[in-house]
Amino acid sequence: MDRLAGQNAATHGRLHPGAEAFARHMLDVGDGHQIYVEESGNPQGRPVLVLHGGPGGGCSPFMRRFFDPAHYRAILFDQRGCGRSRPQASVHANTTPHLIADIEVIRRTLGLESVLLFGGSWGATLALAYAQAHPKRVTGLILRGVFLGTQGELDWFYGGGAGRFFPDLWTQFRDPIPEAERGDLIAAYHKRLFSADVGRQGRYAQPWLMWENALAGLQSAAISHAPADYARAFARLENHYFMHRCFLDEGQLLRDRHRIEHLPAVIVQGRYDMVCPPLSAWRLADGWKGCDLRMIPASGHALSEPRISAELVRVMDEIAAQDRAKSL
């Protein structure tokens, strides 16, 4: 989840100045996929790997601004099938294990022993999955808007739970589907997003994308329409993952939390997040001694929410200060 990663002027300068990428790569990860990777900041700095939301959201220059460019080597990449990765909108060989393997390709290609993970929404899901698969390759986790990939979370968002708060927007999402198919909207949209008619795919991509976008932020304006190519890639990839329960066992990320409990973690969670309600963040943090859960008041889900953005910058600046103190 998490389509919104755009700029928001209400952050009032709390973000770091935008840094241009000093390196860009197109990595062949097999299965016909090439993934876009970029690096910005300090080439000798502490490596932080940014995991975007969706699945299918892609990265943006805005995401570089959470990291002090003098301290961090920020690594952003577009996951399979989205952004500048190719082929666009492809779900062939596109699963959570494939994305975990891609992160390992990035890590080895860039010569990194280990990385700090920074991810929100689906990016938080992928960060947890990668860390649990490769705990020795992770120095810590910074998570935002936690999504654990469970059936209950999908039922909340696509089964009418969130629709109780936004009945008008829910109706716009539900009504393109015939009444007889509304018992499983993920499956109903899948049928249309993966039809042979590309035009039909595009027509159903827009309401899929707009439903999530409309609920993402309390203070960020919803977008009523998105570019057709972006909407199609986002909707197809996200729907593909949700049809397959994110390619995770039910409850897997909580079940395997013990594999990463030695690592430090910070969770920045909007108190009024309607896309990924705070219960998941609470469950993840409960009993994890090294995890600092920060509930952010008057905030929703989007990375661009003012208080969310400010807190994430604060977290990254705190880590940078601790690193500098240790080097003295």
| Residue 301 annotated to the active site | yes
Contact, 198 vs 285, CB < 8 A?
no
Contact, 194 vs 219, CB < 8 A?
no
With a CB cutoff of 8 Å and minimum separation 6, the contacts of 53 are 1, 2, 3, 5, 119, 120, 121, 122, 123, 145, 303
| Residue 262 annotated to the active site | no
| Residue 224 annotated to the active site | no
Q: Among 68, 190, 301, 304, which one carries the catalytic annotation? A: 301
Q: Among 40, 85, 90, 121, which one carries the catalytic annotation? A: 121
Contact, 216 vs 300, CB < 8 A?
yes
Which residues, in sequence order, are bridge partners of residue 266?
Answer: 142, 292
Name the strand (E) or helix (H) holding 295: strand 291-296
| Nearest-10 crossing angle of helices 198-216, 228-243 | 80
Tell me the two tokens of residue 24: 């860009």
With a CB cutoff of 8 Å and minimum separation 6, the contacts of 211 are 169, 170, 172, 173
Q: Among 2, 68, 78, 273, which one carries the catalytic annotation? A: 273
What residue type is assigned to position 146 of the chain?
A: V
Tell me the C-alpha distance between 277 and 103, whole Å. 27
Handedness of CA 250, 276, 189, 196 (dihedral sign): negative
Tell me the C-alpha distance between 3 and 11, whole Å. 18
Q: What DSSP designation does 158 have?
A: H
Tell me the two tokens of residue 221: 């304006």
Place of tokens 């896309």: 275
Which residues, in sequence order, are bridge partners of residue 180?
Answer: none
Handedness of CA 302, 308, 314, 315 (dihedral sign): negative
Catalytically active residues, by annotation: 121, 273, 301
